[in-house]
Structures are given as C-alpha cells and as structure tokens.
Structure 1
Amino acid sequence: MKDYIIEESSKDEFNLVTKGITEYNLSRVPFTQDPPIININRVVKDLNGDILAGINSRLYCWNCLCIDLFWVKEGSRKGGYGSALLNEVERIAKEKGCKLIHLDTFDFQAKDFYIKKGYEVFGILDDCPIGHKRYYMKKNI
C-alpha cells in the first residue's frame, strides 16, 4: 500500500525545499560569499528608453556566476550590445571575487558568440529540444 502522496508545491513548500538543499550544501561546503545570492542583471536601452538587450545572472554561494538568460532584440544584434552586456556582468562578477562563469545555450542561439568570448563547451545534451543540441559552457576568469 502506498503511504505517500505527490502534489504541486505551494510557495511555502517551494521555499522549504530551497532552504533544505541550501542548508545541506552549506553543511558540506561553506559558502564563500555573503549574501549567498547576488543578482547581476543589466539591460541596454536606446535613447528613447526602449530595451535593446538584457542579461539576467546570479552570483551564487561560492562566487560562481550563472548566466540564466541573455537576449538581444532582433534588429539590434551585431550592434555590440551583447558584448557590452557580457563584459559588464563579467567585470562586476570579477570585482566580487568570481572565478567561474557557466551558462547553457542552444545550437540555434549563441554558442559561437560565447566561444569568441573565451567560453568552452564542457557538455552537450542531444535532442533538447528534439533535433537540436543544448551546450553547457564555462569560463574561468
């Protein structure tokens, strides 16, 4: 007989799971930064205030930077906005003691851009989505 149920988490339950894994991680490897999560998010705007590009990243626990989302508006690509944003986020992360940056990108996104910026592929997930590749990349700074 089954003695458990599985259901969608509430916000409080989500936070409990997050707290649980954070406490476990901390018991195994001490955090090297305080606070444990520092968001480093930036946008590029034109002179009218319209957003042309943006990057969302977080410096977490051990001074590692994870680039979560990075976007340049169609029509604004090849204008140097992506390079400017990436350079800015890397600069801030380095100032805060970061030594490692990681991210993932798809074959239809920006792998070659990241390679030009010094990132290297350390893993590939095939058929994610079907017929495509997801690249896991890193850069030591």
Structure 2
Amino acid sequence: MLWVDENYRNQGHGRSLLNHLENEAKKKGASISMVDTFDFQAEDFYIKNNYKVIGEIKDFPKGHRRIYFSKVLQ
C-alpha cells in the first residue's frame, strides 16, 4: 500500500516513493507494474505517473469506481 498524509501531498513525496518502488521492482526483474485505486483516491496521481487504465469495476463501492492500472517499467 502506498499512502501519503494530506499534509505531505503535492510535495513530490508520493512520486519519490513510487519511483523507488518501481526501481526496486526492476532490479528484481519486474517489467510491468500494476496498481489499483478508487476514483476518490489516487486516480490522477497514477495517470500523472504514466500509468494506463487497464480496467475498472463500476459501483465498487456504490457510486464510485475501482480502477486498475499498469505501466511498463523501463
């Protein structure tokens, strides 16, 4: 799980953590990263970090979407 307290958002901390995790995954041989979130959480964050939507579940929870993303690690 990746979560940044509201007091520390928009300061690059989330991006830094995500980049670190992606680099560690690449060192271990991973070539694709997959994450999921809800539309009321980090959808825009993952899009800004070059993740592509690969699927979603509508009304999960009711009135919202659970969104699945992937990114090719280079």
Query: Could you state the TM-score of these two structures normalised by the residue count of structure 2?
Result: 0.93
More strand by share: 1
After superposing on structure 2, the runs of 4+ consecutive aligned residues of structure 1 that deviate more than 3 Å are: none
Q: Is 1:136 the counterpart of 2:68 in the alignment?
A: yes
More helix by share: 2
The residue that corresponds to 2:26 in the other structure is 94
How far, CA to CA, are the matches of 1:125 and 1:109 in structure 2? 15
How far, CA to CA, are the matches of 1:118 and 1:76 in structure 2? 21
Higher relative contact order (CA 8 A, sep 6+): 2
**Identity rate, percent:** 49
Give ranges in structure 2 of 5+ residues lacking alignment.
none
C-alpha RMSD of matched pairs (Å): 0.7
**Matches of residues 1-141 of structure 1 in structure 2 within 5 Å?**
69-141=1-73
What CA deviation, in whole Å up to 9, does each residue of 1:64-85 have, x standing for no partner?
Answer: xxxxx11001211111110010
The number of equivalent residue pairs is 73
Q: Which amino acid aligns with 1:140?
A: V
Query: Could you state the TM-score of these two structures normalised by the residue count of structure 1?
Result: 0.50
Q: C-alpha displacement at 1:113, in angstroms?
A: 1.0
Give ranges in structure 1 of 5+ residues lacking alignment.
1-68
How far, CA to CA, are the matches of 1:101 and 1:76 in structure 2? 24
